[in-house]
Amino acid sequence: MTDKKALDAAINGDLEINEMSLLNDELVSDYLQSNPDFFSKNAHLLSTLRFADSKRGVVSLVEIQQQMQRQKIHLLEEEITQLLTVANYNEQLFTVYNDLYLSLIASPDLSHFLDCLGQTTTQLLNLADFKLYLTGRDFEIGHDSIIKSDCREVINKRLASVDYYFGRLQQTEKELIFADQKVGSAVLIKLSDGEHCLGFIAIGSNDEAHFSPSMDTLLLNQFRTLVAKLLIQQLQKIGL
């Protein structure tokens, strides 16, 4: 007897006990997939089928379907809640950025410009630290946010082919960028003037999971472009 004939015989109750070994899970599964109208033709089975459940004991197919539906609804509710939370956060972030842009545009000098960036980062966004590294410039700017260490290797490793890096930094990188500040995770934002790399902004968080590679860069793209242009203007004011 072929496998399909054995299954048909089992369904019709004509299969001998010693022939039941011909059946297996894969065969039954293939048969049901190939015959999607099976239960509509055998509707009486739906009310009689019972399944073992480790938590609830023996349950019916209808109960299993209801449970699966409740789980789907619960997951959808969680997704909607997450989307609303992200939307609310993005709205708040958008407002913070707009206020920051107005302050940066009106900044009378580089020191005030950097103060605005630092205060927005640490006070309004509740992050740990803000730093700025400028490449190829052998000069001293008297501001706490300026990175004095040589971070060219950080650029080569983290920003050579991308505009952003999100996530954890190695201990040596944290010491170069943030000095003694305890930082769990960070975002590095490359600042460019055409093809030339001006340097990068580093923003740190105490939370190791705050910055992750999955983060969206939509708002940061505008931030990166505007800050780079305004930074060039500020550097030109002091002849750099």
Report the chain (240 residues): mean pLDDT per 10 consecutive residues. Answer: 54 50 73 82 73 69 78 86 71 84 94 94 89 77 87 95 95 91 93 92 94 87 94 86
User: Are 158 and 232 members of one domain?
Assistant: yes
In a domain, 79, yes or no: no
Predicted confidence at residue 230, as pLDDT, reads 95
User: Are 121 and 30 members of one domain?
Assistant: no
Predicted confidence at residue 21, as pLDDT, reads 52
One-letter identity of residue 88: N
**Residue 155 Cα distances to 198, 210, 213, angstroms:** 11, 21, 17
Predicted confidence at residue 17, as pLDDT, reads 44
Number of domains present in the structure of the chain: 2
pLDDT tens per residue across span 160-177:
999 999 999 999 999 999
In a domain, 25, yes or no: yes
Predicted confidence at residue 233, as pLDDT, reads 93
Predicted confidence at residue 102, as pLDDT, reads 94
User: Are 32 and 114 members of one domain?
Assistant: no
Predicted confidence at residue 11, as pLDDT, reads 53
In a domain, 85, yes or no: no
User: Are 113 and 35 members of one domain?
Assistant: no
In a domain, 229, yes or no: yes
176 near 104, Cβ under 8 Å? no
Predicted confidence at residue 32, as pLDDT, reads 81
In a domain, 222, yes or no: yes
The CATH number of the domain where 112 resides is what? 3.30.450.40
User: Are 118 and 220 members of one domain?
Assistant: yes
User: Are 22 and 135 members of one domain?
Assistant: no
In a domain, 141, yes or no: yes
In a domain, 155, yes or no: yes
User: Are 33 and 114 members of one domain?
Assistant: no
> Helices 110-119 and 218-237 sit at what angle, rounded to 10 degrees?
160
User: Are 221 and 113 members of one domain?
Assistant: yes
In a domain, 66, yes or no: no
Question: Residue 180's domain spans which residues?
Answer: 107-237
Predicted confidence at residue 9, as pLDDT, reads 54
71 near 196, Cβ under 8 Å? no
User: Are 120 and 191 members of one domain?
Assistant: yes
159 near 188, Cβ under 8 Å? yes
pLDDT tens per residue across span 130-160:
999 998 765 567 788 999 889 999 999 999 9
Q: What's the CA angle centered on 129, arms 189 and 224, to 5 degrees?
A: 20
Predicted confidence at residue 63, as pLDDT, reads 75
pTM listed for this prediction: 0.65
